Amino acid sequence: MDIPSSDVIKVVYALLPGFVTAWIFYALTAYARLSPFERTVQALIFTGIIQVLVLAIRESLFFLGRVAYGFGEWTDNGSFTTSMIVAIAFGLVYSAAANNNWIHPLLQRLGITYQPSYPSEWFSALAENQVYVVLHLAGNRRILGWPCEWPNQCDCGHFVLMDASWLSEDNEPTQLENVKSILIPAKDVEMVEFLKMTNDEDGNASQHQL
């Protein structure tokens, strides 16, 4: 059965805000992309949420128009434009919530979940521990540094270490002079140590403690 092209366009327009939100989310977070079918289902869920938000905005404008000032006629173009604005805003807020673990701590206190919003324990540990790290590499090599960037997954990507030093068996650091930063493949890292921060007499946190 042939589907009229006008109906196809209406479906695309109806689902486009959900796909925009999904695209923003995966572009701004460390979550791995789902399969095409799962992404479509997720876009449908986002579309439903966006439609509810747009409906709330429309009813609010209608109410303001009745009691205060009329903003004009609500058209299909206005509805689509509002949907896209809401989709972009929702995608940005949803991404920020996932990257900063805003919602899950509340759900944990309510006993609903024990999981953080981060995509993995690897990413959670690196995001929550902003300290100097020691990377254990193959061949019993160890390197100390400040991770200004880190991979989203443990088997791909790179660490970018600043203020890096190689460590001897006695934990004696050898500073990499004239080196601004060093790139370490994540696949070469066997273990990551997070160093404790110490406070001096004035209460200021020192850089690291071996």
CA distances from 36 to 11, 33, 41, 94, 141 (A): 17, 9, 9, 20, 41
Q: For residue 22, what pLDDT is reported?
A: 94
Q: For residue 116, what pLDDT is reported?
A: 85
Does an H or E element contain 98, and which? helix 76-100
Q: For residue 209, what pLDDT is reported?
A: 56
Distance CA(166)–CA(194), nearest Å, equals 16
Q: For residue 68, what pLDDT is reported?
A: 75
pLDDT tens, residue order, the chain (210 aa) = 455 556 667 777 888 999 999 999 999 998 888 888 898 899 999 999 999 999 999 998 888 887 877 677 888 888 889 999 999 999 999 999 999 899 888 898 999 988 888 888 888 888 888 899 999 998 889 999 999 988 888 888 899 999 999 999 888 889 888 889 999 999 999 999 999 876 555 555 555 556
Domains of the chain: 5-109 (no CATH), 121-194 (2.30.30.100)
- Residue 21: CA count within 13 A, CB half-sphere: 27
